[in-house]
Structure 1
Amino acid sequence: MDAPLIGLTTYRQRAAWGVWDARADLLPTEYAASVEAAGGVPLLLPPVAAPGAATRVVARIDALVVSGGADVDPAAYGAEPHPETAAWQPDRDEWELSLLTAAAEVGLPVLGICRGMQLMAVHAGGTLDQHTPDLVGHAQHSPGGDAYGSIEVRTAEGSRLAGLVGATAEVSCHHHQSVATHPGFTAVARAEDGTLEAMEATGDRYCLAVQWHPETRLEIGLMAGLVAAAREHAAS
């Protein structure tokens, strides 16, 4: 079977490269590299406003990764912005929420990464804690700047996640927000301070989200699981 096509949602913001300084659609290379290393073909999915675009895209890919990025608009879950909540992008929120709706309708495999996990919770009717340091008393989950925090997570025995990464894992994280409520999903990993670090849907569909950044360490377990699910979806 041909390598499955894995859609990756992207940023849309100002960026500089070569002689250019302009708005761009972009994503760190680690995302595409991790998909390719796991046997998939990456396809970048910038925000699209056209009606029905998400349905058409989902019909042409074999799995979806909702990538990391800026804070989710608090209005999407009925909250006022915390002073530390900033730089949300309504066009990206709307696009990714539409992709998640279209994916659910056809049983498309989905992996959420960091912001992607938060958006998946919001899509399901859940809410976010807008500034995790307020709850845990430290900034280890996001040390600042372009640095990743390094934390240990413990997974739930018998979960899909545990089967992919093991009972414990040392992971890279960069988030100041976290999931508070997650209807329809089961909590399957937590940090030592109690922060929810992963959730998955019940049933056979690969619908899993992690608060950390597996692409930065080429954690093949998670992406290999997604690619395997994408092959099954394509075959069906």
Structure 2
Amino acid sequence: MPRPLIGITTYVEASTRYGAWDLPTALVPIGYYELVQASGGSAVLLPPDDPGQAAAVLSRLDGLVVAGGPDVDPVHYGAPRDPRTGAPATVRDAWELALIRAALDAGTPLLGICRGMQALNVALGGTLVQHIDGHAGVPGPVDWHPVRPVAGTRYASLVPEVAEVPTYHHQCVDRLGRGLIASAHALDGTVEAIELPAADAAWALGVQWHPERDKDTRVMSALITAATRVPATLP
């Protein structure tokens, strides 16, 4: 059988050097697609597109990974901008929020990583803390800190122990979006994973850390397994 086809969102850098060329480029770190491949999937990279095409794109995929990146614009959850919040990524926000909503509507399995977890929460009406003071893993060199699973959650069934994870973030979930539950916390109480409960029709999980950095395949393998059970329907 062909391996499940997993879309990974990319982002645009205004200036990227290729030999004699210096061009705007859509890219994502290779750890994302390597983790998909190591977990049994095939990866396809999704550059920003017309949000109106999100459902059509999702219909050709078996699963979706929303990658890490810049802050989600607080306009999407009705909050004033904190001066420490990064510049808006308007095109990326529109595209990824549309993809997330299309995936939830279609029942396409979804994994949000760092920004992707935050975008999942926002897409379902949740809010974010725009800056965390004193939290392990604030901006700087990538830090490692422990996260504790919440018993009875999908995440806890995948990673039952307290795990050391690589993290780099200064924002986090504040109010949970519709239907979401917290499934892991940092030791200071920060929400580090969210999910739709197993009884929900849609498979959706978000982690605040970067599994593509530590090569732990358990979370990604669960996405691949879910994607194997829900094949894409081509028009």
Q: Please classify the TM superposition score into its range, dividing by the shorter chain length.
A: over 0.9
Unaligned runs of 5+ in 2: none
CA apart distance, 1:19: 2.8
Equivalence for 1:96: 96
Shift of 1:35: 0.1
Letter in 2 for 1:42: A
Taking structure 2 as the reference length, what is the TM-score of the superposition? 0.93
1:61 and 2:70 are equivalent in the alignment:
no
Distance 2:109 2:135 in 1: 32
State the shift of 1:16 in Å: 2.7
Q: 1:160 to 1:55 in 2, by over 3 A?
A: same
SS at 1:234 equivalent? coil
Q: TM-score if structure 1 supplies the norm length?
A: 0.93
Which residue of 164, 173, 192 corresponds with 1:197?
192
Match of 1:142 among 134, 138, 143: 138
Q: Percent identity between the aligned chains?
A: 46
Which of 181, 202, 205 is residue 186 of structure 1 equivalent to? Answer: 181
Q: What amino acid maps onto 2:90 in structure 1?
A: P
- Which piece of structure 1 moves more, 19-28 or 188-197? 19-28
Amino acid at match of 2:181: T
Find the residue that maps to 1:181 and give its secondary structure: coil
2 CA distance for matches of 1:50 and 1:192?
Answer: 37
Alpha-carbon RMSD: 1.5
Q: Which amino acid aligns with 1:197?
A: E
Q: Which stretches in structure 1 are left out of the alignment for 5+ residues?
A: none
Q: What are the residue-to-residue correspondences of 1:5-24 with 2, within 5 Å?
A: 5-14=5-14, 15-24=16-25
Aligned pairs for 1:198-217 (under 5 A) are: 198-202=193-197, 203-204=199-200, 205-217=202-214
Q: Which residue of 2 aligns with 1:49?
A: 50
In 1, Cα distance between equivalents of 2:125 and 2:190? 19
The answer for the alignment partner of 1:220 in structure 2 is 217
Deviation >3 Å, runs of 4+: none
3-state SS of 2:224 partner: helix
> Is the Cα contact below 8 Å between 1:66 and 1:113 reproduced in 2?
yes
